[in-house]
């Protein structure tokens, strides 16, 4: 089993860098999203900012990072001075940074980190509005045209980290962010922007055992620039606060969640609050992959247990296939739904859902949820992962896993939502397993919450009967039921024939009922 020293330390505490470096030749890849809990003027799940980062240990004392962030939703709060139209908003940052250890002792380290970034800022464009469109309001001037600028920006910080005890780590980080002080010059007139800001960061992390670390941080801006503006376009300085937890599934896979008012996800923009609503709390979720780190022990699958890792229909199981396994499923039904998913096991206890996509069709009645997320012919795309926390085959009383996916209905509205569930699987004996699957689809329209109940009965060597029920308790969703007959062509190949009144098998569809009884088929392969 992995020990204390097999788990990599935290490189950042929310938006705050630490003086920690990953080991030489190791790498860390992370994907994150920050979004308010309320949709605001943008609707859906609000103003999402997506970030990807890759960290590489070049030497024992130097770490290089590359990153990319993307946000293209309307501003969270309406801008009264721009009514009746509201400006679209685009933030896009790409760049690289270096972190080098300057000095240190047994329990403390001092490092320097500098970044260079291309920060694209568009106002009056973003989402479905092209930056070449005419006649769109912006926040920098009254030209009635979009403003778009590529800005060369950067940052410099000097993180000092002290290991106060085996569990407690403290960080002090003076920093400066070099951002432009205006936008729109030559495009209708220059308007105020953030400018250069000096800040002081304070952070702490506390490690609970091998796998859980709690953390909190504060970035305090001192000027001369600002880091926030409100709905009246008045610029100011506000503290950027974060608090959350990092949970390591194993040394290879980490999951992180925090509450913050920080919207920027690159080193230079980390000081920035949510545009137009600087004190609005947001959820920051992050997935972390350390490719060279130690994995969980292999699961001693039986043929029966391996077949359960194929999953269910609308109720999930709590098993994932072994590390290195690719899983593909395809589905179609009699009313025109068509869905598919490609997934890959990065670990024995984590499956990355690389890409899920499909179309809902003929879902009636047309509620607000259906109109925004399950309307006819619109392509729904999803990305996420499934982590196993307990495994019955390793001696736990039940298997327990959690799944989170993000994505959009890429139709006319481009509405996004976050789907999350927990799955508990109990193998009662060699022929019967039960599944309990609480779930929700968090969005800005109405958030349905439900509990999935399912079973898997091995009725012969190659046949399984799978009854399922989703009892939807709130959020304008509807309860639904399914019944499937599964033919196992092998332990890793299945064909399901089913009848269901769920709107569909993909995420949101599990929480909606349709008037039609659907006949469908699903093919699942692992290789």
Least trusted range by pLDDT, from 109-113, 132-136, 273-277, 522-526: 132-136
Lowest average pLDDT, out of 270-279, 325-334, 370-379, goes to: 370-379
Q: What mean pLDDT is reported for the chain?
A: 93
Least confident residue range of 76-90, 199-213, 300-314? 76-90
Is it the case that residue 119 has pLDDT exceeding 70? yes
CA dihedral for 69, 72, 73, 76, sign (positive or negative):
positive
- Among residues 193, 81, 76, the alpha carbon closest in space to that of 137 is found at 81
* pLDDT given at position 44: 58
The set of residues, in sequence order, having a beta carbon less than 8 Å from that of 310 and lying 6+ positions away, is 317, 327, 492, 494, 524, 526
Average pLDDT over residues 226-245: 96
- In which element (H, E) is residue 371 found? helix 368-373
Exposed e or buried b per residue across 361-377, where buried means at least 16 C-beta atoms within 10 angstroms of its C-beta: bbbeeebebbebbbbee
Q: Which residues of 426-441 are buried (b: 16+ CB within 10 A; e: fewer)?
A: ebeeeeebebbbebbb
Helix, strand counts (H, E) of the chain: 2, 31
Q: Which of 132, 139, 159 is nearest to 217 (CA)?
A: 159
What is the predicted pLDDT for the residue at 112?
98
What confidence tier does 39 reach under pLDDT thresholds 50, 70, 90? low
pLDDT reading at 102 higher than 80:
yes
Mention every residue, 6+ apart, whose C-beta is less than 8 A from residue 371: none
Q: Give the pLDDT of residue 43.
A: 61
Q: Using the structure block, give the residue that is written with the tokens 């009313």.
A: 335
Which residue, among 315, 335, 368, has the nearest Cα to 515 in the 3D structure? 335
Whether the per-residue pLDDT at 64 is higher than 70: the answer is yes
pTM, to two decimals? 0.89
Name the phi and psi angles at 373, rounded to 5.
Answer: -130, -10
The secondary structure of residue 41, as a DSSP letter, is G
CA distance 523 to 526: 10
Could you give the CA distance from residue 275 to residue 258 in angstroms, rounded to a whole number?
19
d(CA 277, CA 507): 30
Check: CB of residue 161 under 8 Å from CB of residue 146. no
**pLDDT of 427-454, one tens digit each?**
999 999 999 999 999 887 788 999 999 9
Percent over 90 (pLDDT), the chain: 80
pLDDT of residue 129: 84
The residue written with tokens 């499909």 in the block is: 358
What are the Cα distances from residue 38, in Å, to 79, 276, 441, 450? 17, 14, 13, 20
Tokens of 394: 């390793």
Location of structure tokens 């909190």: 216
Mean pLDDT for 330-338 is: 96
Q: Which of 89-98, 118-127, 515-524 has the lowest mean pLDDT?
A: 118-127
CA distances from 56 to 42, 98, 180, 525 (A): 36, 10, 29, 34
- Residue 144: which pLDDT band, with cuts at 50, 70 and 90? confident
Which runs of E-coded beta strand occur in 49-166? 49-59, 62-71, 89-104, 108-123, 147-157, 160-163
What would the pLDDT profile of 338-394 be if each residue is shown by its tens digit?
Answer: 999 999 999 999 999 999 999 999 999 988 888 888 989 889 999 999 999 999 999
Dihedral of the CA atoms 406, 68, 127, 409 (nearest 10)? -20
Tokens 């033919």 sit on residue: 487
Is residue 406 very low, low, confident or very high in pLDDT (cuts 50, 70, 90)?
Answer: confident
Question: Can you give 152-171 as a three-state secondary structure string?
Answer: EEEEEECCEEEECCCCEEEE
pLDDT at 47 over 90: no
pLDDT at 447: 87
Q: Give the pLDDT of residue 46.
A: 63
Structure token pair of residue 206: 């506390």
Handedness of CA 356, 361, 364, 369 (dihedral sign): positive
Q: Which residues of 226-243 are buried (b: 16+ CB within 10 A; e: fewer)?
A: bbbbbbeeebebbbbbbe
Q: What is the length of the chain?
A: 527
**Higher pLDDT, residue 447 or 65:** 65
pLDDT (0 to 100) of residue 45: 58
């Amino acid at each position: 089993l992995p020990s204390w020293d097999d788990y990599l330390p935290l490189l950042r505490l929310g938006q705050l860098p630490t003086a920690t470096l990953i080991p030489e030749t190791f790498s860390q890849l992370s994907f994150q999203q920050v979004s308010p809990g309320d949709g605001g003027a943008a609707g859906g799940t609000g103003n999402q900012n997506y970030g990807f980062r890759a960290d590489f240990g070049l030497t024992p004392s130097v770490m290089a990072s590359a990153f990319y962030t993307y946000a293209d939703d309307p501003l969270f709060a309406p801008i009264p001075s721009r009514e009746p139209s509201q400006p679209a908003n685009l933030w896009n940052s790409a760049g690289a940074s270096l972190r080098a250890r300057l000095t240190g002792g047994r329990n403390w380290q001092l490092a320097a980190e500098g970044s260079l970034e291309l920060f694209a800022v568009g106002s009056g464009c973003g989402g479905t509005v092209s930056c070449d469109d005419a006649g769109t309001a912006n926040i920098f001037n009254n030209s009635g045209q979009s403003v778009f600028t590529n800005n060369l920006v950067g940052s410099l910080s000097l993180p000092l980290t002290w290991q106060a005890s085996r569990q407690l780590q403290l960080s002090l980080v003076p920093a400066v962010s070099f951002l432009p002080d205006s936008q729109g010059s030559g495009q209708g007139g220059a308007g105020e922007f953030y400018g250069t800001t000096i800040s002081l960061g304070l952070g702490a992390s506390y490690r609970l055992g091998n796998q859980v670390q709690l953390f909190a941080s504060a970035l305090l801006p001192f000027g001369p620039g600002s880091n926030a503006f409100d709905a009246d376009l008045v610029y100011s300085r506000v503290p950027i606060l974060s608090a959350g937890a990092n949970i390591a599934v194993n040394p290879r896979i980490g999951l992180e969640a925090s509450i913050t008012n920080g919207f920027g996800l690159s080193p230079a923009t980390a000081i920035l609050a949510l545009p137009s609503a600087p004190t609005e709390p947001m959820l920051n979720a992050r997935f972390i992959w350390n490719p060279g780190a130690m994995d969980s022990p292999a699961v001693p699958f039986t043929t029966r247990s391996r077949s359960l890792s194929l999953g269910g229909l609308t109720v999930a199981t709590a098993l994932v296939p072994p590390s290195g396994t690719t899983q593909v499923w395809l589905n179609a039904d009699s009313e025109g739904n068509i869905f598919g998913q490609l997934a890959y096991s990065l670990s024995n206890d984590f499956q990355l859902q690389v890409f899920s996509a499909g179309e809902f069709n003929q879902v009636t009645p047309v509620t607000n949820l259906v109109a925004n997320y399950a309307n006819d012919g619109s392509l729904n795309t999803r990305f996420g992962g499934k982590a196993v926390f307990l495994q019955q085959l390793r001696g736990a009383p039940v298997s327990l896993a959690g799944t989170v996916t993000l994505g959009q209905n890429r139709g006319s509205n481009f509405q996004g939502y976050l789907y999350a569930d927990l799955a508990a699987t109990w193998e009662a004996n060699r022929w019967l397993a039960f599944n309990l699957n609480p779930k929700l689809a968090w969005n800005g329209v109405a958030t349905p919450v439900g509990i999935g109940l399912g079973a898997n009965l091995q009725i012969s060597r190659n046949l399984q009967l799978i009854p399922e029920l989703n009892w939807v308790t709130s959020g304008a969703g509807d309860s639904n039921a399914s019944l499937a007959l599964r033919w196992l062509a092998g332990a890793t190949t299945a064909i399901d024939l089913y009848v269901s009144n769920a709107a569909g098998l993909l995420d949101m569809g599990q929480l909606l009922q349709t008037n039609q009884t659907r006949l469908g088929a699903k093919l699942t392969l692992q290789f």
